[in-house]
Amino acid sequence: MARKYIIPKKEVLARRALEWEYHYGNRRKVMEVFGIYDPLRVINTITREIPSPIMRADGSLLEGIATVRGRSKAAYYLNIDQMQKDLLCLWYWSEDGWANLNAQFQNLPDVTEDYCLLYDPEIDAAHIVPKSVQVRYKSGTSQAVVPQKHAQEVEA
């Protein structure tokens, strides 16, 4: 049986404060350091290669495998050091992106209970959800797909 990683209410709130500081720092760094880049080119590359950013309940960016791979590709295309690929997020490069981050942050749910991680196989990432949320699937309950040839041998 899978274990749940519990995130207490207090920690979720602390993470939100840290994540806000992180996002603000990244935005400032992009404005200061990356002034030499054409913002329109960067925004077009980010939009093409990286899925739209989604904020988790603790204020962090939901990073599925498509996001990770897209950031690496975008950094390569833009000739940005792979160590700085975390700065390749629409939230940091445009006023509309920053407004989107602020809107998502303001619309985060109130923390009324403990949270836990819930894996989403579609995007290969873990959401942070209230502990009371029921898991959509239970391990070991899905029907096994048996090839027809093998099924006929078993019946005979």
CA–CA gap between residue 57 and residue 65 (Å, rounded): 19
pLDDT tens string 72-91: 999 999 999 989 999 999 99
- CB 75 within 8 Å of CB 82: yes
- CB 65 within 8 Å of CB 72: no
**The pair of three-digit structure tokens given for residue 31, joined into one six-digit string:** 């404005």
Task: Average the pLDDT over each of 21-25, 30-34, 54-58 and give the range with the smallest value.
Answer: 30-34
Residue 133: per-residue pLDDT = 81
Residues facing residue 55 across a β-bridge: 61
Q: What's the mean pLDDT in 105-111? A: 94
CA–CA gap between residue 101 and residue 89 (Å, rounded): 10
Q: Assess whether pLDDT exceeds 60 at residue 47.
A: yes
CA–CA gap between residue 86 and residue 111 (Å, rounded): 27
Q: Which positions ≥6 away from 15 have C-beta within 8 Å?
A: 7, 58, 59, 60
Residue 144: per-residue pLDDT = 47
- CB 71 within 8 Å of CB 85: yes
**The pair of three-digit structure tokens given for residue 7, joined into one six-digit string:** 């995130």
